[in-house]
Amino acid sequence: MKRVFVILTVLVLLAVTSCGSKETGQTTVARGNKEEFNHFLTEIRQQEEPWTEEEIQAFEAYVQPKEYEHMFSEDEIKVLMEKKEVRKTVTSKQAAEDIELAFQLLSYAYGGYQYFGGDEVFLPIRDDILNELETVSDIKTYDLWKLLWDSLSPVIEDDHFYIVTNQRRTWIVDREYLQSTYFVRDLYFDDPTGIDSQYVKRTIGPNGAITYCLAAVVQSPEKLPAKMTIEGVEYDLRWRLAKPTSHSDDTYAEVFSETAVADGRLPVIHNYSLSGDDSRMEKFVFTGASYEYKKAPAFVLDLRGNNGGNANHARVWLRYFCDKQVEGKTLSSIKLSNFHTVVYGGVSKDVGSWHYKRSDGIPWDTGNIIFVLIDGNTCSAGEIFANMLTMGKQVVLVGTNTRGCLNFGNINSVYLPNSGIRLQFGSQYSIDQSLEKTEGVGYFPDLWVEPEDSLDAVVRLCNYYGLLEEKSK
């Protein structure tokens, strides 16, 4: 019999567990079986196909070699990268010099320059700003910052790109393109037939079974449906924002911690950041080689609130865990300039060209079931980590969409010499198997659960399907 159930307060108190409740450590009698869960894994972890020539050509359209009106030397770049004090006011001439320099640098080293329109888009913006500056004798640095910000914000959607003054630090836009997950809480159903598919998401029910809920990834909940008929019953829908995890600076400094839930049967690695103290980061990386996790039938890798850092730490962790090199399916290219000579070493011979890297993805299977917790504050290298993990045949992403800080990386900072305004931008452009812009959208989970409940929900699921008994074969 088809069923729809809304969990009321009284039922929540009577149930073993429920949405938002705390994990008690009590074992729930399995009602499903591993075969059912394995069928679910087969559905969500399809083998990735290699990149096609059409897909590669579409990517390469944004990474074409370019000639520059000014070639920055290593010495010039070193000077630009030195931190400068922000002046309160500059002359119009000084402001114009900074603006011309800023746009030269974007053309020279920004990985998103061609993606967002190239000279055809950026040069008219530069000229409009210069024309505006001709109408004043001097200008407050804050007003110059705002002029630059207002001019670029309609064009650039890049979460790594921001402009900084002493008065205000901001991303390139007020994150208008950022999309977040909204849920209709406590509404679960078994049969999605007839429901708009864009709102139907797999989730973990109160008893641990994989079922369905209503969730949506949108910029604003204003246009979400207020009513919906599910199996002949009309429901008034109250959409609520899923709040992502936040950590203190001290927590980020810890890099990671280890716990266990479900009476100690389900180990958990909490990874807060992929940057920080080298000794702590080394200890985290070596958890990938730990027998405790390799032998476990299932464990949790908690990336909620992971603020990114160096994705190479994630690659090393996976190499230790899988005993081989692992990569996600990606196309990436770095815009070569003398920034790389200064920041990363080596020699940038063909300035204006791109260093191209293609990965068709490297699948792996260690026999463990790994639940990876993600949310809206999982970003940058944390998202790359999650993407590489999905090449594992028994990996399940649980939570909400990640932040979407992915398409542009390899970050550099420069300080405009007259005003002291700092620009931060990346030299790399990349895409993944989705072939879509992930900026502000991120990766989607396999099981949609509010972040605060995701660990408890995984415990319920493991108990329901009996996943903690022995290592899967």
Residue-wise burial string across 150-167, b where 16 or more C-beta atoms lie within 10 A, e elsewhere: ebbbeebbbbbbbbbbee
Residues 260-263: contacts with CB under 8 Å, at least 24 apart: 261/23, 261/25, 261/300, 261/455, 261/459, 262/23, 262/25, 262/27, 262/459, 262/462, 262/463, 262/468, 263/25, 263/26, 263/27
- pTM, full prediction: 0.88
Beta bridge partners of 218: 180
Q: Mean pLDDT per segment of 10 residues, for the chain of length 473 residues?
A: 38 33 40 91 89 91 84 89 93 97 94 94 98 96 93 91 70 66 96 94 97 95 94 93 91 94 96 91 96 96 95 96 92 87 70 87 93 96 94 96 91 93 93 75 96 97 91 55
Pairing of strands 200-204, 210-218: antiparallel
* Gap between the Cα atoms of 45 and 32, Å rounded: 20
Residue 17 parent element (H or E): none
**Residue 57 — φ and ψ, nearest 5°?**
-65, -40
3-state DSSP of 213-251: EEEEEECCHHHCCCEEEECCEEEECCEEECCCCCCCHHH
3-state secondary structure of 6: strand
Q: Domain residue spans in the chain? A: 244-327+362-405+440-465
CATH topology of domain 244-327+362-405+440-465: 2-enoyl-CoA Hydratase; Chain A, domain 1 (3.90.226)
3-state secondary structure of 145: helix
Length of the chain: 473
Residue 164 parent element (H or E): strand 162-164
Which residues are within 8 A (CB) of 67 and not within 5 positions of it... i.e. 6 or more apart? 352
- Name which of 43, 34, 11, 61 is nearest 354 in CA terms: 61
* Gap between the Cα atoms of 408 and 406, Å rounded: 6
3-state secondary structure of 312: helix
3-state secondary structure of 310: coil
3-state DSSP of 286-305: HHHHCHHHHHCCEEEEECCC
DSSP secondary structure letters along 82-123: S--PPPSEEEHHHHHHHHHHHHHHHHHH-TTTTTTTTHHHHH
Q: What is the pLDDT of residue 237?
A: 96
* Gap between the Cα atoms of 288 and 269, Å rounded: 10
Confirm if 18 and 447 have CB atoms less than 8 A apart.
Answer: no
Beta bridge partners of 215: 183
3-state secondary structure of 190: coil
